[in-house]
Amino acid sequence: MQDTVMQRDTGPTQPPHRGIRVSALVQDDDDRVLTVRLSEEETYRLPGGFVSPKEGLVAALRYTVREQTGLTVDPAGLVVVEDRHVDVGGVITEFVYAVPRLPRDVEIRLPPPSGRSPQVAAFQWLTLDEHFRESLFDCCRPGVTLQVRPRCVDDECTKLQALQIRAAIEAGAARRVAELEDGQPAYRGAWQAFDGQSGALPVHTVACPEQPVPARSHEPGRA
């Protein structure tokens, strides 16, 4: 069997060998997902960061989310555990926790640079609904009023980050934990755990490991 090319994930200041990250899946009443863009990056990701030595996952989640967004959050449940192979020759294990939904008018405050997290340059509320995408044809139609619409995760995030966000939402809806490795189910049982669940990790979102996975090109910039 021909070996597939593993998609490598790069990111800022990655530790060698193994690192532990936590991220928060924050949604509002309109089903939008809160994402942040770090100053040294061009795309958006879930808020969160690396776990310091002697620090628990939940404590790190609260700290990094508050530092990056000004929000005080408590996890509602673990939705994703993902191993990422990175260019520095190590593996990063990321734990994604869902948090209770926030009102659509919640205030996001980007604090000044401080603490251990990289500076956050911007934030966006992103949608999963591709129907929100504004096409050039629609914008140019006579009589059509151009409206500002939320951007889709596929527009603003890397492929790996978009897959992780979609998996987190589907896992939360199914009340399960998605176990991923570089954007794919980590093992056959990880896929079977979702098999038959309504709306949970559909084939078009995360490729079934029983099917050949096409070679993927290197994608820089995320952890």
Q: What's the CATH number where 46 sits?
A: 3.90.79.10
pLDDT value for 221: 41
Give how many domains the chain has, as a whole number: 1
For residue 200, being part of any structural domain is answered with no
For residue 157, being part of any structural domain is answered with yes
Q: Name residue 157's beta-bridge partners.
A: 44
Contacts of 190 (CB under 8 A, 6+ apart): 178, 179, 180, 209
For residue 33, being part of any structural domain is answered with yes
For residue 206, being part of any structural domain is answered with no
For residue 212, being part of any structural domain is answered with no
For residue 199, being part of any structural domain is answered with no
Distance CA 210, CA 215 (A): 15
Contacts of 71 (CB under 8 A, 6+ apart): 26, 47, 65, 102, 106, 108
- Going residue by residue through the chain (223 aa), what tens digit of pLDDT does each one get? 433 333 434 344 544 457 999 999 999 999 999 999 988 889 999 999 999 988 999 999 999 999 999 999 999 999 999 999 887 778 999 999 999 999 999 999 887 766 555 688 899 999 987 554 444 344 444 554 444 556 899 999 999 999 999 999 999 998 999 999 998 888 876 755 544 443 344 333 333 333 333 333 333 444 4
Residue 155 sits in which domain range? Answer: 18-192
Residues in the chain, overall count: 223
Core vs surface per residue 117-147: b (16+ CB within 10 A) or e: bbebeebbbbbbeeeeeeeeeeeeeeeeeee
pLDDT value for 178: 92
For residue 41, being part of any structural domain is answered with yes
Question: Full-prediction pTM beyond 0.75?
Answer: no
Amino acid at 107: E
For residue 32, being part of any structural domain is answered with yes
Per the CB < 8 A criterion, the answer to whether 100 and 74 are in contact is yes
CB atoms within 10 A of CB 54: 6
pLDDT value for 83: 94
pLDDT value for 188: 75
